[in-house]
């Protein structure tokens, strides 16, 4: 889950399928989409866990600074910036 902090663990990229119409998908398209959905669910779960852990351990004043961050990497970068300001 470390990659969520520095942004190296990116949101999975949606695959390019042979057709936007699910009824026309090949077997390979279906497998590719299923793999994508599984990986995306796992990434989202890990992101939420790390997000919650960060929120639990930071001070209220820092929590105010990171409350609108959309990803853990954004939260972490804001925290680093805040701490660097204080020296």
Copy the structure tokens of residue 79.
Answer: 């925290």
Token couple for 34:
């299923």
DSSP 3-state assignment of 39? Answer: helix
What pLDDT sits at residue 87?
61
- The conformation of residue 87, written as its DSSP 8-state character, comes to -
- 4-52 per-position pLDDT tens digit: 988 899 999 999 999 999 999 999 999 999 999 999 999 999 999 999 9
CA torsion angle 71 8 20 35 (round to 10): -110
pLDDT at 83: 85
The model carries a pTM of 0.82
């Amino acid at each position: 889950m470390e990659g969520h902090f520095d942004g190296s663990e990116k949101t999975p990229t949606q695959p390019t399928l042979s057709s936007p119409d699910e009824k026309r998908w090949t077997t390979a398209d279906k497998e590719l989409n299923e793999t994508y959905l599984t990986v995306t669910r796992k990434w989202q779960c890990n992101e939420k866990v790390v997000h919650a852990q960060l929120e639990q351990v930071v001070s209220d004043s820092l929590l105010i600074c990171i409350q609108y961050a959309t990803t853990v990497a954004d939260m972490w970068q804001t925290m680093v910036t805040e701490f660097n300001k204080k020296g």
